[in-house]
Structure 1
Amino acid sequence: MEKGKKRLAVLVGCNYPKTPNELHGCINDVLAMREMLTKRFGFDLSHIELLTDAPESVVKPTGANIKKALDRMVDQAEPGDVLFFHYSGHGTRIPSLKPGNPFRQDEAIVPCDFNLITDVDLRQLVNRLPKGASFTILSDSCHSGGLIDKEKEQIGPSSLNINSTSLSLSCTPKKIPFESILQHLTSLTSINTSDIGTHQLELFGDDASFQFRLPPLELLDLFGPSNSKPTDEGILLSGCQANETSADMSPTTGGGKAYGAFSNAVQTVLKEHLGQLSNRQVVLMARKLLQAQVFEQHPCLYCSDENADATFLWQQIDLAS
């Protein structure tokens, strides 16, 4: 990477404390990633925005706050810049509103206020990138495969079956079912409808996802084949396939820290291999590690052919120092 080019990151950890959806390792995941970004990948701490729902956090990872942070990052991007978004928290699937896909489900992440950020929102961010900048998303959440709408699958659904076995860990899936999200939103809006978009617009207005705010024809125009780029610089490393769950791990013995299985696997791979690794290598090694640890999730990679073999985070620093 050329001297003077920026490395920018937004790190989001949602533990949903004192709620029925509580997780334990998500904030630990992004704190560990922040340390790795600064020590291993040359990120300046002032260029890393951290959003968590820890009790002491002043700015919480609501849908609006996460999107504002991502917008700020993309808005200041220039050719050659490296952008990174690490999300650790719950994911979900929602009925697709996209024209031509009446039976599909779309992927979304679940901020602490349930203002969903969908695959359409992440596609819109990638589309805004200046040519020559890269945007890597690492999503440690359930149903995270395909979180950038229309991004090309490089490493995807696997037919590999893994038999569960007992571990000295307590595992919680990072998933909130659609029905639970709908029930929660209905309790807030008091509107009797199963249309999640109605609830999202009622609660969040202009801060709701593009998926719920744009008319179907505008969605088709914005994200349809006629407007899709032959290649783009969006890179998604997902913790699992679109139909799978990602694990949040809480050690039951020894007093160890809780963590997300995928976040931990990626960080382990990077610590054990100090040379440059491609995006493909990072995902394949994380898959192998999770398989050895008997997890029933399969990390995936979505990006262009060129970016599949590009260096993870385009690192160009002396790793021996």
Structure 2
Amino acid sequence: MEGSAKKRLATLVGCNYPNSRHELSGCINDVHAMRDLLLSRFGFSPDDVVLLTDDAHLDSSSPSSSALPTGANIRRALTDMIDRAGPGDVLFFHYSGHGTLIPPVKPHHGWQHRRDEAIVPCDFNLITDVDFRQLVDRLPAETTFTMVSDSCHSGGLIDKEKEQIGPEAETTTADVSGAIHRTVGRYLPFESVLGHLASLSGIDSPHVGEHLAELFGAEASRKFSGGAAAAGRGDDAILLSGCQANETSADMSPFEAGSGGKAYGAFSNAIRVVLGEKEEGAVISNRELVMAARKVLRERGFEQHPCLYCSDENADAPFLWPRPEKKQQLRACM
């Protein structure tokens, strides 16, 4: 296997928010299914795959609360993964759960179009696009960091990453007359996030950063404490988002075609469908995977549009495989 001496590290996060009014059904199933795929198809070792799910506290065999996908635990797992990485390693992060959009502290003309994307850990300690930018800026040279986010408003979750497939991507009209009824989306309005945090912090403030600072201190997003992202260097971060920044992502119920009797995220399931149609050992580029996932979702009547954000080179690089050495690329062209 090409690059077999390199490390392949993964962090998988699934938030179902059990016993809350924000509860979802398919997120934990998503990451368990992805773990199986990483081990069986992509050569990951079980010891190098970290799984954080919010059913851990319901399992008496769980060793500690460290397995819960809190904001601090997710950041720590990602930081540890990057700290372990060396040049040429393959890193992977899969998030399945709620996403939200954060308005600016001082609204201005056109502010509706300049909100910041964030994921919502089980304790609501938001992780923003700025946080992900700061993480990937620490990557060693030639180390790829692939992020799949099956959440609402996930387009652009790595701040300042180049858009390869987004709202302007060419799509074809499909017959969705057989579209299946869906009742659950992964949409969590910012007002609900703010209200929940305010109920915990006891602070009367419209600014989410003040609530996060009160509740989580140094473990809150640096976005709200002056830690803005830099301009964004050329890097090997790759974001496959479940939808555009202005869209929502959907859960598939156990009764929907292709779900196999379990609830799943529509985007996570589409990725598995596309990869399952490939022969063992066959590779597919990041661009091809996103476009094929769009096709699967369109044919099943979903309205969300997965997107791709990365460098030009990584857009056509194989999904979760090391890029070929430049010498090998030249030899192949001779």
TM-score higher than 0.5: yes
Between 89-98 and 159-168, report the one with greater CA deviation: 159-168
Aligned AA for 1:182? L
Q: What is aligned with 2:164?
A: 154
1:109 to 99, 115, 119: 119
* Cα pair distance change 1:162/1:207, threshold 3 Å: farther
Identical residues among aligned pairs (%): 60
Whole-Å separation in 1 of the counterparts to 2:293 and 2:9: 24
1:280 to 263, 277, 287: 287
Whole-Å separation in 2 of the counterparts to 1:102 and 1:123: 23
1:127 to 134, 137, 140: 137
**SS of 1:171's equivalent?**
coil
Q: Deviations over 1:115-174 (max 9, x none)?
A: 000001110111000001000000000000000000000000148688976755543111
Q: What is aligned with 2:266?
A: 261
Conserved in 1, the CA contact under 8 Å of 2:176 and 2:301?
yes
Superposed displacement of residue 4, structure 1: 1.7
Superposed displacement of residue 223, structure 1: 1.6
Aligned AA for 2:125? N
**SS of 2:239's equivalent?**
strand
Structure 2: stretches of 5+ with no match in the other structure = 324-334
2:197 to 176, 185, 205: 185
Aligned AA for 1:41? F
Aligned AA for 2:313? E
* Mapping of residues 4-83 of structure 1, within 5 Å: 4-54=5-55, 55-56=58-59, 57=62, 58=64, 59-83=67-91
Report the TM-score, using the length of structure 2 for normalisation.
Answer: 0.86
1:250 to 248, 253, 272: 253
**SS of 2:287's equivalent?**
helix
Residues 1:84 and 2:92 aligned together: yes
Whole-Å separation in 2 of the counterparts to 1:10 and 1:96: 30
**SS of 1:43's equivalent?**
coil
Whole-Å separation in 1 of the counterparts to 2:175 and 2:195: 33
**SS of 2:320's equivalent?**
helix
Whole-Å separation in 1 of the counterparts to 2:119 and 2:174: 26
Superposed displacement of residue 294, structure 1: 0.7
Whole-Å separation in 2 of the counterparts to 1:94 and 1:145: 14
Aligned length: 307
Q: Deviations over 1:90-109 (max 9, x none)?
A: 000001369x9982100000
Q: CA RMSD for the aligned pairs?
A: 2.3
Aligned AA for 1:38? L
Q: What is aligned with 2:239?
A: 236
Report the TM-score, using the length of structure 1 for normalisation.
Answer: 0.90
Whole-Å separation in 2 of the counterparts to 1:253 and 1:144: 23
Whole-Å separation in 2 of the counterparts to 1:125 and 1:101: 30
**SS of 2:210's equivalent?**
helix
Superposed displacement of residue 273, structure 1: 1.4
**SS of 2:184's equivalent?**
strand
Q: What is aligned with 1:289?
A: 296
Structure 1: stretches of 5+ with no match in the other structure = 317-321
Aligned AA for 1:151? E
Whole-Å separation in 2 of the counterparts to 1:154 and 1:83: 20
* Cα pair distance change 1:172/1:165, threshold 3 Å: farther
Q: What is aligned with 2:219?
A: 207
* Cα pair distance change 1:132/1:67, threshold 3 Å: same
Whole-Å separation in 2 of the counterparts to 1:128 and 1:106: 21
Q: Deviations over 1:63-92 (max 9, x none)?
A: 000110000000111001000000000000
Conserved in 2, the CA contact under 8 Å of 1:88 and 1:260?
yes
